[in-house]
Chain A
Amino acid sequence: MRPCLLLTLLLTAITQLAGCAAYRNYDLELEQTTEQLKQGNVAGSLALIEAHNPDEQKDLLYYFEKGAVLSAGGELPQSQAAWRSAEQMVVERQDTIETTGDKLLTAMGNHWGSIINDKLRRYDGYDYEKVMLTTQMALNQLAVNDFDGARADIKKTHEREALIARQRELEYERVEEVAKQQGVRVHYKDLQGYPVVMLDAPAVIALKNGYQSAFSHYLAGFTYEALGEKNLAAPGYRHAIELRPDLPFFQQALRDLDSPGLKGDESDVLIIVQSGLAPARSSLRVPYPVKLADGQVIVANISFPVMVPDTSTRSFSQIGIDGRQKKLIPVNSITDMSLRTLRDDMPGIIQRTTYRAFLAADVQATDNRRDPSKASYVTHWDGFEQADTRTWRTLPNLTQVLRLRLKKGEHTLTLPHLNSAAPLKIRIDQNRQVITLRALGDRVFANGSAFGPGKTVAERVVNNLTR
């Protein structure tokens, strides 16, 4: 079947089926959307996002995904507009002094979420998504040398991060306290068949938390330094070092902050290569034995979220500059951040999910007592029992950087996984410049002032087939 016909049929089916959050299969929706993006079809990807979100009132994820697709497609002002809407929603939710009505509705939504499934809870975005939102917005602006514009988003990033830190500190303590009071002592390690290894990976445990990004702080440092604000650049680099003490790259930035300035024809260039996609969230059914007051043990099949890392983009660790290979430094992994977030959120998820397990087991026990001949000690799985699979999927997974001094003028870039493609030409004409590249599948999206003005989306996407 021709791809365009397939896409049309898909769009029609989606429009018919798009409905309530409880049924929404976000994982599937975004699989289709990102597939189009991997093929370099930005318009197709955007059409699917619109088709999956037919309501007039759009949710946070809609703006997250739309902004990311537009950014990859080089439509930077439109991408900023979409992300600005997302940011406004985040700020409103963060600043809203809830009225009694709001509180009631939120509580009802979250309460039913506890009874039916987590998809009914309002999607407020994960903390790392909120931090990365303004980081990505800053990158959009840095790509067009708008350091002042980027500064505003950088400032929002670290201010929001501080706010999240205060909220989370209290929230995790509260969840722990409630769990103790309710006697819920289940740990994710006790869940039969749950991929514990992923949550306990060294890279996940090494993170201080799930929302602080060393890269975001480093970018703050670079932006403030470029604007001549060393007093703000220093804490940016210092935070990055605190979060990733294993990376000498960050330490070097702090050391170089007070070193002599650039020579007249030199530019301090930061190359940022973002690749892949944020991991998917999938729903995994786990048998959970519930011991009831009458002594019956009934196994409830309950669902927990698991992260599914994206494997669409081959990893690479080098970039060619004017024919010379330079090592890229990996500074951020959304997979690790999301796994860490899930790890930290697990007590709360377990609390809500086991509540549902007790309810289901209790209903089954009542049925068993009513008709012992049809007694079952395993609850029937109902269609609603699914983990929340919503998450910002088009967010780039891995961020790798390289900082170097280049002479102003024309240069060439090559990525190893695009060895058959023509080198990308860049123009360095600023004292400090940020070059952003987005690698997805076998394609690279090259956007920003350095790649030259007035190019179409197709001209900005490079793939292995381009010769």
Chain B
Amino acid sequence: MFARFSCIAVIALLATGCANTSPTLGSKNISYGDTKAVETVTNEFGSTDLQMIAESMTRSLAQSGILQGRPVVQVYDVKNKTSEYIDTREITTSIKTQLMKTGVARFASDNNAMQSQVDQLKLQNQSGLYKKSTVAKTGNMVAAKYRIEGSISSIVKRSSDYKDVFYKFSLQLIDVESGLAEWMDEKEIRKTTER
């Protein structure tokens, strides 16, 4: 019996090259796709969700009539209350970009960009490296009239046949001086996968 197994082994080794079945480089099918195409690869948060939320929020805010006279707005982080690693900054960046493009608002440095802004001002004013007439003066930064903040949460349910994910994205515009919420909207998304 040992001889039989040895024979099988030898054939197997010859046939499989000691199971060396590494994939070959350069044999993959790669193509570029439409960035706006609806993505349903998995039911986790994806590019279509990001685009839907950003478009819906921008439209709602721009049409609300609150943003008169291109006010200065500061964008805060959107709290991620889900268990998914959703980069909510990408959502607010999209909203900010679209509002900037339509020209309805101006944006003050947000919390993350503030340090770079302060460092640059310090560098220009304290290093002695720059021509005085070109140096940006301190004390002239424009304060925000409004701040934008929000959150995203989700409810996930599974059964043996289905997985259902419900996302709720809320955003609000708050008047910094009065503390009043001047605008608020939310976008709900439901994604169901049949297993």
Instruction: Name which residue of chain B comes closest to A22, CB basis.
Output: B9
Q: What chain B residues lie within 8 Å of A196 (beta carbons)?
A: none
A67 at the A/B interface (Cβ < 8 Å)?
Answer: no
Chain B 13-25 near chain A by CB (<8 Å), digits 1 or 0: 1011111111111
Residue pair A112, B80 in contact (C-beta under 8 Å):
no
Question: Given contacts A363-B4, A364-B1, is CB(A231)–CB(B19) below 8 Å?
Answer: no
- Minimum CB–CB distance from A141 to chain B (whole Å) comes to 18
Interface of A is mostly: helix
Instruction: Fill in one digit per residue for A345-381: 1 if any B CB lies within 8 Å of its CB, else 0.
Output: 0000000000000001001100100000000000110
> How far in angstroms is the closest Cβ of chain A from B20?
7
Complex CA–CA separation, A121 to B65 (angstroms): 65
Is B83 at the interface (CB under 8 A from chain A)? yes
Interface size class of B (residues with CB under 8 A): 35 or more
| Bound form: Cα–Cα A367–B19 in Å | 31
A256 within 8 A of B: no
Enumerate chain B residues within 8 angstroms of A96, measured Cβ to Cβ. 23, 27-28
**How many residues of chain A have a CB within 8 Å of chain B?**
50
For the complex with contacts A21-B18, A230-B77, A231-B80, 14 further pairs of A-B residues with Cβ separation under 8 Å are: A20-B18, A22-B18, A57-B20, A92-B23, A93-B23, A102-B23, A109-B21, A112-B8, A120-B12, A166-B42, A234-B79, A363-B1, A367-B1, A382-B1
Per the bound structure, the CA–CA distance linking A106 and B23 in Å amounts to: 10
- The 7 A-B residue pairs whose C-beta atoms are closest, nearest first, are A112-B12, A109-B19, A231-B80, A96-B23, A105-B21, A231-B88, A109-B16
Contact yes or no, B18 A95, CB < 8 A:
no
Name A383's closest neighbour in chain B (CB-CB): B2
**B87 at the binding interface (Cβ < 8 Å):** yes
> Within 8 Å CB of A108, what residues of B?
12, 15-16
A130 interface residue (CB < 8 Å to B):
no
- Name which of B5, B44, B77, B112 has the most chain A CB atoms within 10 A of its CB: B5
Provide 11 A-B residue pairs closer than 8 Å at the C-beta atoms, listed in order of the A residue: A22-B13, A108-B15, A112-B8, A120-B12, A155-B85, A162-B42, A230-B79, A231-B87, A360-B1, A363-B1, A384-B5
Supposing A102-B23, A367-B1 touch, asked if A232 and B13 sit within 8 A by C-beta, the answer is no
Are A115 and B13 in contact, with the CB atoms below 8 A? no
Tell me if A310 counts as interface (CB < 8 A to partner B). no
Q: What are the residues of chain B within 8 A of A382 when measuring CB–CB?
A: 1-2, 5-6
State which of A235-243, A287-295, A332-340 sits at the interface with chain B: A235-243
Interface assignment of B137: CB less than 8 Å from any CB of chain A? no
A228 at the interface (CB under 8 A from B): yes
In the complex, chain B residues 141-182 whose Cβ is within 8 Å of any chain A Cβ: none
> Per-position contact with B for A82-100: 1 when CB-CB < 8 Å, else 0?
0000000100110111110
